[in-house]
């Protein structure tokens, strides 16, 4: 018997509350199934089992890919603007369910309700973007060196795109990929995180309904819930033209290598080890407010969470105690993410909590100190006792060279270092494997200029006076180096979801060769 808290959220999202096993595999034409292992979706806030989900076997995953390819053959002929109209309907249907889906994200992933709804808004926003793209995704006409010739760069869809997503953005990341794929004429097969299947099922039901009402085979938006078996089958299937993977560096390296070995296309969005630098001229009030959200928000479980803070020596003694105080104040705001007062929800799993404590131990072992937080949070309410709550921590490792600075600890632990010279701080920002997000708090234009230049941050996201996290969909999103070099969402990211052909066309009766070559 489900609690009222859970029952309300699940039924609003159209999911069963009577204990029935939820089918987690969809491959078009109203077909829902799942012959693989039955997995449990567990609420990170309370430990309550939300539902049992039937997942995909390897064979079902291959079948989903086959059906997606069949659906693609028809879908690629639908005109761009018509595809845009379908995306508009998807957008409206998701918007209609925004609060229900936002609460489901909060329930199943553990982020606070406002961020849950924000995630659905991101799906809506990328649909808006993709509607425009459906009419504007354009190639180019280039001047030829041969008289009467024209060169066209033509974008055609790739075919089938496999989308493998992480637990922490259980809806938006698929949206980034799916909306662009639909705009340019691809079919998709989505494998969500094994711990957030309900979000994926609820969204896919809505999308499938729109597709089917428009006479489009729903296999264009196939779903294979599951773990390793489904994931590996998708990665190894030669009929999957592009694998778009969002997750850890460790898994990204395995998947990237596998896809490359079959000469498939790969888009990687991996871990971040994001850094904020606070310069002497910074507006410290703004930096403080921004950093508390960026470092402790989502309980440190955004790929763009600020994990490293580099303070200029001249402001460190003034700034750090204020930040510590702000973290102390946060301790009264830990709890059930569905409650509006809560700012810090639980970690997603017990394993994540263990990782947090291990990282704190490492800081101490390496001679560093914990300035605030770093303990388990014991909720007063009985039903939250099985949740994975911690108190966000600020630590000061022994030195900026300490090994702990090199790793992404996917939990609310912020490591602090002190710098004297901006080049030194930029060196530390760049001196890690990962290259996702970074920010500089300054009002000095010369510093801003350097930061965004070739001498500045080597990350994919390079901000000024803005959090490392919380990107908008307008610009391309992604990171460099071991973050995988992928770009999703806005900007030119759509260009990765198409195959480009350079087409040289001769409008004359002559046959000149390029570079003046003579063959007569």
- Going by their DSSP bridges, the two strands 25-26 and 221-224 should be labelled as antiparallel
Site for ligand NAD in 406-445 (CB under 6 A): 408, 410, 436
Which of 166, 220, 287, 394: binder of ligand NAD (CB under 6 A)? Answer: 166
Residues 6+ away with beta carbon under 8 Å from 351: none
Which residue lies nearer to ligand NAD by CB, 190 or 441?
A: 190
Which of 272, 368, 379, 397: binder of ligand NAD (CB under 6 A)? Answer: 272
Q: Does 175 contact ligand NAD by CB under 6 A?
A: no
Q: What residue spans of 76-196 are helical by DSSP H?
A: 80-96, 98-109, 113-136, 172-184
- Going by their DSSP bridges, the two strands 437-441 and 393-396 should be labelled as unpaired
C-beta nearest to ligand NAD: residue:
231
Least CB distance from residue 196 to ligand NAD, whole Å? 8
Q: Does 193 contact ligand NAD by CB under 6 A?
A: yes
How far is Cα 132 from Cα 120, in angstroms, rounded to an integer? 19
Look at the chain and count its residues.
Answer: 520
Q: Does 194 contact ligand NAD by CB under 6 A?
A: yes
CA distances from 477 to 3, 168, 473, 474, 494 (A): 38, 16, 8, 9, 11
How far is Cα 163 from Cα 176, in angstroms, rounded to an integer? 10
Q: Does 327 contact ligand NAD by CB under 6 A?
A: no
Q: Does 475 contact ligand NAD by CB under 6 A?
A: no
Catalytic residue among 249, 269, 407, 447: 269
Least CB distance from residue 434 to ligand NAD, whole Å? 8
Least CB distance from residue 172 to ligand NAD, whole Å? 9
Q: Does 227 contact ligand NAD by CB under 6 A?
A: yes
Which of 39, 184, 200, 255: binder of ligand NAD (CB under 6 A)? Answer: 255
Least CB distance from residue 186 to ligand NAD, whole Å? 19
Q: What residue spans of 274-410 are helical by DSSP H?
A: 284-296, 313-330, 350-365
Q: Does 36 contact ligand NAD by CB under 6 A?
A: no
Continuous segment of H or E residues that includes residue 9: helix 4-12
- How would DSSP label each residue in 432-473? SSEESEEEEE---HHHHHHHTSTTS--SSEEEESS-SS---S
Q: Does 360 contact ligand NAD by CB under 6 A?
A: no
Residue 502's Cβ-count burial label (10 Å; 0-12, 13-18, 19+) is exposed
Specify whether 225 is catalytic.
no
Residues 6+ away with beta carbon under 8 Å from 250: none
Q: Does 490 contact ligand NAD by CB under 6 A?
A: no
Q: Does 349 contact ligand NAD by CB under 6 A?
A: no
How far is Cα 97 from Cα 320, in angstroms, rounded to an integer? 42
Which residue lies nearer to ligand NAD by CB, 94 or 164?
A: 164
Specify whether 303 is catalytic.
yes
Q: Which residues are catalytic?
A: 269, 303
Contacting positions for ligand NAD (CB under 6 A):
164-169, 173, 191, 193-194, 227-228, 231-232, 235, 246-248, 251, 254-255, 269-272, 303, 408, 410, 436, 479, 483
């Amino acid at each position: 018997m489900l609690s009222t808290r859970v029952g309300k959220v699940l039924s609003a999202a159209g999911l069963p509350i009577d204990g029935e096993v939820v089918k987690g595999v969809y491959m078009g034409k109203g077909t829902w199934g799942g012959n693989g292992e039955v997995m449990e979706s567990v609420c990170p806030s309370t430990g309550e089992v939300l539902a049992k989900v039937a997942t995909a076997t390897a064979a079902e995953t291959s079948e989903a890919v086959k059906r997606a390819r069949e659906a693609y053959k028809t879908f690629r002929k639908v005109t761009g603007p018509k595809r845009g109209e379908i995306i508009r309907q998807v957008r409206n249907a998701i918007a209609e369910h925004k609060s229900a889906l936002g609460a489901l994200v909060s329930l199943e992933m553990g982020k606070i309700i406002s961020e849950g709804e924000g995630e659905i808004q991101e799906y809506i926003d990328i649909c808006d973007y993709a509607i425009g793209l459906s009419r504007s995704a354009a190639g180019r006409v280039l001047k030829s060196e041969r008289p009467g010739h024209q060169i066209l760069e033509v974008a055609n869809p790739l075919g089938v795109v496999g989308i493998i997503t992480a637990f922490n953005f259980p809806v938006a990341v698929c949206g980034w990929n799916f909306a662009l794929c639909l705009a340019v004429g691809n079919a998709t097969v989505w494998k969500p995180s094994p711990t957030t299947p309900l979000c994926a099922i609820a969204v896919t039901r809505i999308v499938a309904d729109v597709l089917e009402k428009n006479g489009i085979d729903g296999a264009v938006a196939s779903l294979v819930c599951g773990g390793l078996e489904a994931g590996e089958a998708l990665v190894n299937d030669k009929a999957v033209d592009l694998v778009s993977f969002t997750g850890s560096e460790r898994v990204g390296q395995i998947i990237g290598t596998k896809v490359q070995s079959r000469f498939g296309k790969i888009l990687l969005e991996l871990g971040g080890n994001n850094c904020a630098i606070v310069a002497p001229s910074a507006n410290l009030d703004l930096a403080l407010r921004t950093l508390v959200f960026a470092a402790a928000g989502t309980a440190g479980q955004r790929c763009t969470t600020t994990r490293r803070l580099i303070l200029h020596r001249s402001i460190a003694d003034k700034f750090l105690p204020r930040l510590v105080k702000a973290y102390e104040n946060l301790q009264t705001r830990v709890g059930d993410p569905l409650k509006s007062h809560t700012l810090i929800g639980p970690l997603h799993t017990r394993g994540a909590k263990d990782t947090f404590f291990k990282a704190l131990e490492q800081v101490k072992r390496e001679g560093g100190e914990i300035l605030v937080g770093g303990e388990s949070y014991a909720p007063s309410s009985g039903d939250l006792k099985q949740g994975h709550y911690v108190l966000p921590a600020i630590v000061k490792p022994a030195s900026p060279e300490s090994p702990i600075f090199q790793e992404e600890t996917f939990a609310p632990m912020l490591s602090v270092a002190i710098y004297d010279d901006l080049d030194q701080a930029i060196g530390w920002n760049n001196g890690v494997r990962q290259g996702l997000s970074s920010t500089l708090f300054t009002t000095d234009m010369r510093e801003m200029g350097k930061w965004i230049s070739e001498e500045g941050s080597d990350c994919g996201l390079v901000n000024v006076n803005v959090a490392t996290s919380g990107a908008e969909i307008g610009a391309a999103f992604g990171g460099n180096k071991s973050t995988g070099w992928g770009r999703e969402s806005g900007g030119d990211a759509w260009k990765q979801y198409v195959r480009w052909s350079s087409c040289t066309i001769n409008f004359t009766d002559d046959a000149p060769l390029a570079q003046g070559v003579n063959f007569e």
